[in-house]
Structure 1
Amino acid sequence: MTGSITLVGIGDDGCISLTSRAINAVAQTELLAGATRHLDFFPQYRGERLTFVSGLNGYLAQIVEAAKDKDICVLASGDPLFFGIGKRLLRLVGEADTQIDVEVITSPSSVQLACAKALIPSDDVKVISLHGRPMTGLVARLQQGDTFALLTDNNHNPVVIARHLLSYDETRWRLVLCEHLGGSKERIREFTAQELAATSIDDIESLNVLLLQRQGQAYWGGLAMHCPDGAYQVLTPLNGLITKANTRAVVVARLGLTAKSVMWDIGSASGSIAIESAKQAWNGQVYALECNPECFDVIEQNQMRHRVDNLTLVKSKAPSGLDDLPVPDAVFVGGSRGQIDPIVELVMSRLTSGGKLILSAVTLDSVSEFFDLCKSNQYHYEVVMLQSSVSQPLAHYQRYQAENPIHLFVITKEGNNT
């Protein structure tokens, strides 16, 4: 005998909005599984029950095991395949050693219900789940659209989210908080970021969806993906300690970043390379390593101004601190403080296959050193020499002001590099 699983999505209003097909699935099942609040909607059911209390993996494993010889109905919130248990349950069914038939009967998702209540078209809404996920990178992800639905949890609740928005000056949003959608305790409230940040957490129900609708909020704080040097706070009088804009554009382009890349910027100084990389890798992670305490505040100011909360400042002298970071897809070394050999050795041992390491050399000594380093290790590399000039006023005329030439050693990690 083989069993089956019917996964039924149910709203906070219980049986009222279920279809006859869903009701029949519950009535005919041999075992009814679900959270206590879902099972309580069916006091008339007299068959076997399986209550989810804690430990989702164990609960789903019990369901799959029981379904090998029983017909089971599983209750889940809204659309079970929309940030619900459906995805994980289907994977476990696929791994089972017995054929189990699965049917999914959905209800509207929480996001669909929220958009209807807020009169927001749902076809352009981007969904971000903060349920059991870090807040890091939320503001960077908000630069990718105009309307968002945030799925929250007790740690990343709407008040905490609003305070995070305020810390990055993301204030021009319409915030619609939708609680207990479809149920008797349903509540729809509209806030500004300031109002929601000042709200008591005790006044927020745990079952909620937070909608954000852009109201003239500029992307990246009005700053472009690639910015002129004047868009950055720099450390003076040490000539700014910034990779110049023309060089910066080439470096970030040659790093080959994707939206989800992990990038290290070693010797970050003002953080300009890290910041523009973070805008490219808006759904990834960027780490700016810097050991000069005078640069810390400069990097943090630039991070806030450019809205890159997916950037983390690591206050360390490389290679110290690198072992604790996630595996990088791209690395830029703008300063090594005499530690280039151990830095490159460690980076190449951890860099993903096909990943890029870019070393910048501004002195002839560094050029010679990096040539020897690449050749002795048989790295696959290319050298790009950049020399640019920028117009400057001279009385009633314009002249060119030459910038220092720079050599970029672009190293690609091949499969046999260590």
Structure 2
Amino acid sequence: MTEPEREREEDQARCWVIGVLDDGPQGLSDAARERLGRVQRVIGATRVLALCDGLLNPHAERLDLTGRTASVAAWVSEALDAEHDVAVLATGDPLCFGIGGLLAARLMPRLPPSRFRVLPNPSTLQLACARFMLPWQDARWVSVHHCDSGDWVCGGTPEHGLYHLAQALTGASGAGDLIGVLTSPANGPERIARLLLAEGLDDVFAIHVAECLLRPDERLISEVPAAVLASARCAHPNVVLLQRRHAAPARSVFGLPDAFFAQRVPARGLITKREVRAVALALLELRPGDLVWDLGAGSGSLGLEAARLCPDGHVHAIERNHLDLDLIETNRRRLGVTNYSATVGVAPGDCATWPAPDTVFIGGSGGQLTPILEMVVQRLRPAGRLVVSLVLLENLTTAMALLDRVGLDWSVTQIQAARSSPLAGGHRLQPENPVWLIQARTAQDPPLPDGSRICV
């Protein structure tokens, strides 16, 4: 594109999304300064509006988006409909966890791209990496700029503001050796340090904090122990960089030996055996983002392996024996799994508040098989999968009859495995108890109330 063509295209733009850093006008390009002096409407947070106030047309309308992010797209649309130029001020790079992504999603589908221009600055994450001389091309970026959910508690659910950071720390979502964290006043370095301590990762990651970047009071904090930082008070705004000190241990994706899992002593064996576990996981047909229920978790072996196969999902597990919850927690820490929540209780009653599942595994029913199945059938999402592990013939016939009654497609797989064991200087095959696995699935689309289906 020639320079005249570029200028003509820029003249068509009526919305300018401009990245601003804490050095204010000093860090803006000439193009950004020129546009800020011409627009009739300026949208930005209180702090950013104040930084750029001297550059604005005195008659320009100023709209504060603090606490009103959802209104920004409508404000931009109003200005464009009135043929007014509008500028939206963001922090750093507007398309890196910024307002630019929201505007693109809401306005671009119905407005031509030529109406918009983004003038980015370096993101604060990029600046922090520069301060600490940390290459960032393979870094994982996480934002904890959410509402205050309190300190992280092991077994937290996706609603928690630190959940995705916990996932990245344990490598569940493909984290690398460097994790950059956009913080908030509530979810700051102190709370992140307490998360590391709670998950036993304080020796795994070095913590770097960049406070007040580009301000006169800028301060860099590096290699402070998590236990010290946990009770410190850091100045805001800040950015946190978590640098892995040593590689995470490599483990099989699934199919771990039974001996890996802590089990009840002396009554060992409250575990879905590896051969059955492998087939059950296959029958669940897990997807990366699935929400999984594990009913009758025992030692947690199946649910924990399911959590590792669903790095962007979550597993809710329930076990009636409170002593087994300690075993589950031990096994969870061994595997470094954070997308897994276990609770003491009895299905179906104690699962009533859980979010609807994509997949359900029933490993134990405690004599409540029929009500559990009835509840699961009602709660499973469209195209959901159910796998039931059974060792009693009576439960098998009960389950098949119920699934027939509700009209679900189902199939049965019998697992009869045998393991080698020493005998008289040789080996023999020691048979394991036979297990039936029922797989059932719901329809792709839920039926309409009258039983008909949508036709398109």
TM-score > 0.5, shorter chain as reference = yes
Distance 1:118 1:253 in 2: 45
If the length of structure 1 is used for normalisation, what is the TM-score?
Answer: 0.90
Look up the match of 1:211.
241
Q: CA deviation at 1:396?
A: 3.3
TM-superposition CA deviations, 1:66-121 (whole Å, max 9, x none): 34221112211011111111122334435889999222111111222222222222
Structure 2 counterpart of 1:184, from 216, 226, 236 = 216
TM-superposition CA deviations, 1:123-146 (whole Å, max 9, x none): 211112222152235333331232
Look up the match of 1:138.
165
Structure 2 counterpart of 1:47, from 55, 59, 68 = 59
Equivalent position amino acid for 2:165 in 1 = L
Q: CA deviation at 1:173?
A: 1.7
Distance 1:179 1:225 in 2: 41
Q: CA deviation at 1:277?
A: 0.8
1:27-176 pair list within 5 angstroms: 27-44=37-54, 45=56, 46-48=58-60, 49-69=62-82, 70-94=84-108, 101-132=115-146, 134-136=161-163, 138-142=165-169, 143=171, 144-146=174-176, 147-170=178-201, 171-176=203-208
Q: CA deviation at 1:279?
A: 1.0
Q: Which moved more, 1:404-413 or 1:128-137?
A: 128-137
Q: CA deviation at 1:283?
A: 2.0
Structure 1: tracts of 5 or more residues without a match: none
Distance 1:154 1:74 in 2: 23
Look up the match of 1:197.
227
Say if 1:166 and 1:224 are closer, same or farther in 2 by CA, change over 3 A: farther
1:382-393 pair list within 5 angstroms: 382-393=411-422
**SS of structure 1 residue aligned to 2:240:** strand
Q: Does structure 2 retain, via aligned residues, the 8 Å contact 1:173–1:213? A: yes
Say if 1:56 and 1:137 are closer, same or farther in 2 by CA, change over 3 A: closer
Equivalent position amino acid for 2:28 in 1 = L
Look up the match of 1:24.
34
Structure 2 counterpart of 1:370, from 399, 405, 414 = 399
Q: CA deviation at 1:223?
A: 7.2
Q: Does structure 2 retain, via aligned residues, the 8 Å contact 1:168–1:305? A: no
Equivalent position amino acid for 2:100 in 1 = G
Q: CA deviation at 1:206?
A: 2.6
**SS of structure 2 residue aligned to 1:374:** helix
1:203-352 pair list within 5 angstroms: 203-219=233-249, 225-352=254-381
**SS of structure 2 residue aligned to 1:324:** coil
Q: Does structure 2 retain, via aligned residues, the 8 Å contact 1:348–1:417? A: no
Distance 2:114 2:378 in 1: 44
Q: Does structure 1 retain, via aligned residues, the 8 Å contact 2:370–2:398? A: no
Look up the match of 2:442.
413
Q: Which moved more, 1:318-327 or 1:205-214?
A: 205-214
Q: CA deviation at 1:408?
A: 0.5
Distance 2:292 2:242 in 1: 29
Equivalent position amino acid for 1:156 in 2 = N
Distance 1:185 1:259 in 2: 44
Task: Tell me the percent identity.
Answer: 32
Say if 1:291 and 1:306 are closer, same or farther in 2 by CA, change over 3 A: same
Distance 1:354 1:166 in 2: 39
Say if 1:372 and 1:33 are closer, same or farther in 2 by CA, change over 3 A: closer
Distance 1:286 1:395 in 2: 45
Distance 2:37 2:401 in 1: 76
Say if 1:259 and 1:186 are closer, same or farther in 2 by CA, change over 3 A: farther
Say if 1:337 and 1:43 are closer, same or farther in 2 by CA, change over 3 A: closer
Q: Does structure 1 retain, via aligned residues, the 8 Å contact 2:196–2:226? A: no
TM-superposition CA deviations, 1:276-320 (whole Å, max 9, x none): 111111221111111222222222222222222211112221111
Q: Does structure 2 retain, via aligned residues, the 8 Å contact 1:140–1:307? A: no
